[in-house]
Amino acid sequence: MIKLKPLSYFKAVCEHGSISAASDVLFIAQPPLSKALHQLEEEWGVKLFERSSRGMTPTEAGTYLYRRASDLLQMAAEIDEEMQAFGEGDRGVVRIGTVSMGIPRVAAAMKRLKLAHPQLSFSLQQGDTGYLEELLERRRIDVALVHLPLTTRDDELAIQPLARACFRVMCLPDSPLARDPQVTLQQLAAWPLVVMRRKSGFGVYDNVMQFFSKAGLKPQILADASDVPMMKHLVEQGMGVGLLPMLAEDREASALLTLPVPELDAVADDLVLISRSHHQCNTVLRTVIEAFNAAS
């Protein structure tokens, strides 16, 4: 049976490059550290380190073990934290992931939670849907606000719709597009576009390109980006116009105008809250999920 302490020793040696450096960090003597590493190598019949005068470098087997040990030790720490939260009621760290569109919802839910549960603290991650799904799968976050469709099908995921998005064009106030209350695909085809795109998997970018194609139009894609601030900066520099899904109630705190594109409303994706189904019994996480639903 795998024991956590030898793995923590192994991880420290990997990260600090030598037994002596790891022993200083762990505040233990070098002999038990060396013994623990040798026992791991003997147990699995593999060589975990290349040893030289310059230090210790993980072998291929050692590199693989380092990744798996890091995940296992992180999970053990999270289990301990979660069980402490069970015992302490409303005390604990809530780890939330979100796409750019969900940031205002996260801030509103955090405010609501902090008022009701002052002992809570938060760890926040931002990224695209695929990245956040991966973090949730690896148990690095507890809940995530993401776009549909999800990149994987996982029966253990609980999915709760929060809001429906609609497409907006970001442009400068003096842009010719600003003369009309809404924008058509025909108009957009004449402009260099900065478009939202996932780092991997099928998403809103692909749907938008299909809509242009069905309309017999070929858009001029200046750039695709998964980062909204980058898109805004390109638009502010006058390099093109941005095309991205937004929530109807969102108001941009910038000098840019946002105009609706009704023809794309059919492909605007939902904003949903995802979590692991078996975490629903956790009192703290149940409270977090309720806070997001209340803010919807």
Instruction: Output the six-digit token pair for 269.
Output: 């994706």
With bands split at pLDDT 50, 70 and 90, how would you rate the model's confidence at 296?
Answer: low
Q: What is the pLDDT of residue 277?
A: 74
Residue type for position 107: A
Q: What is the pLDDT of residue 270?
A: 81
Q: What is the pLDDT of residue 189?
A: 92
Question: Residue 89: helix, strand or coil by DSSP?
Answer: coil
Q: What are phi and psi of 160, to 5 degrees?
A: -125, 115
Q: What is the pLDDT of residue 46?
A: 93
Q: What is the pLDDT of residue 280?
A: 54
With bands split at pLDDT 50, 70 and 90, how would you rate the model's confidence at 39?
Answer: very high
For residue 207, pLDDT beyond 90: no
Q: What is the pLDDT of residue 87?
A: 56
Q: For helices 30-44 and 19-26, what crossing angle results, to 10°?
A: 120
Per-residue CA distances from 99 to 15, 82, 96, 166, 239 (Å)? 31, 25, 10, 15, 24
Q: Read off the pLDDT of residues 9-36 as tens digits, 9 standing for 90 and up.
A: 999 999 999 999 999 988 999 999 999 9
Q: Read off the pLDDT of residues 212-259 as tens digits, 9 standing for 90 and up.
A: 998 899 999 999 887 788 889 999 999 999 998 888 666 555 678 889
Going by C-alpha positions, the residue among 276, 13, 267 that lies closest to residue 133 is: 276
* Cα–Cα distance measured from residue 48 to residue 61, given in angstroms and rounded to the nearest whole number: 6
Q: What is the pLDDT of residue 54?
A: 82
**What is the average pLDDT across 31-50?**
92
pTM score: 0.62
Q: Read off the pLDDT of residues 179-206 as tens digits, 9 standing for 90 and up.
A: 888 899 999 999 999 998 776 656 778 8
Q: Read off the pLDDT of residues 110-162 as tens digits, 9 standing for 90 and up.
A: 999 888 888 888 999 998 888 899 898 888 888 999 988 787 766 778 888 89
Q: Read off the pLDDT of residues 84-113 as tens digits, 9 standing for 90 and up.
A: 655 555 557 889 999 988 988 899 999 998
Which strand (E) or helix (H) includes residue 214? helix 204-214
31 burial (CB, 10 Å; 0-12 / 13-18 / 19+) is: exposed
Domains defined for the chain, CATH in brackets: 4-83 (1.10.10.10), 91-162+271-295 (3.40.190.10), 163-269 (3.40.190.10)
